[in-house]
Structure 1
Amino acid sequence: MHPVLMRQLWLLVEGTQATLLLNLEDGPLVQRLTRQMQDSSIMDADARNALDLYLEAKLPLIRDVARSRLEPSF
């Protein structure tokens, strides 16, 4: 996946409500993030497929990041 798209994706993840990231099932979450990425950048079919695969592989990390945002900081 292109580094610029990867950076945009992680900025999108950070800007998305943590509860949404935690509550959506895997498929709908991947679809939602992919759709939001498509809305903000031009992607061909290969880039979209790469994004879907990347998202599926990183869902546990995305959920961990979301969970950490909900935990109280000391």
Structure 2
Amino acid sequence: MSPIMLRQFWSLVEMTRASIPLTMDDPSLAQWLLRRVRSERSLNNVEADILTDYIRSRLPLIRDLAQDQAC
């Protein structure tokens, strides 16, 4: 994954963390985040697969960030 895509993803997480739906299960939340990225940037299938794997590996951190925002 490119550094630009990583920066864009984490920027999106930071900007939307107050609205991240924490009640979703992990696969649904990963798809929700992927849809948000796709709404801002065009991704081919390979990029989408790589980003999905990355999101899934970072879901605990993303949930923690969103919960901190909610508190």
Partner in structure 2 of residue 65 of structure 1: 65
Distance 1:42 1:19 in 2: 22
Structure 1 length as normaliser, TM-score?
0.82
Partner Cα separation in structure 2 for residue 6 and residue 41 of structure 1: 12
SS at match of 2:22: helix
> What's the counterpart of residue 2 of structure 1?
2
**1:40 correspondence with 2:63:** no
- Greater gyration radius: 1
In structure 2, the residue matched to 1:56 is: 56
Unaligned regions of 5+ residues in structure 1, if any? none
TM-score, normalization by structure 2:
0.85
Unaligned runs of 5+ in 2: none
Secondary structure of residue in 2 paired with 1:62: helix
**How many pairs does the alignment contain?**
71
Structure 1 contact 34–48 (Cα < 8 Å) conserved: yes
Q: Distance in 1 between matches of 2:14 and 2:21?
A: 10
Q: Deviations over 1:18-55 (max 9, x none)?
A: 35342221111111111111121121111100000000
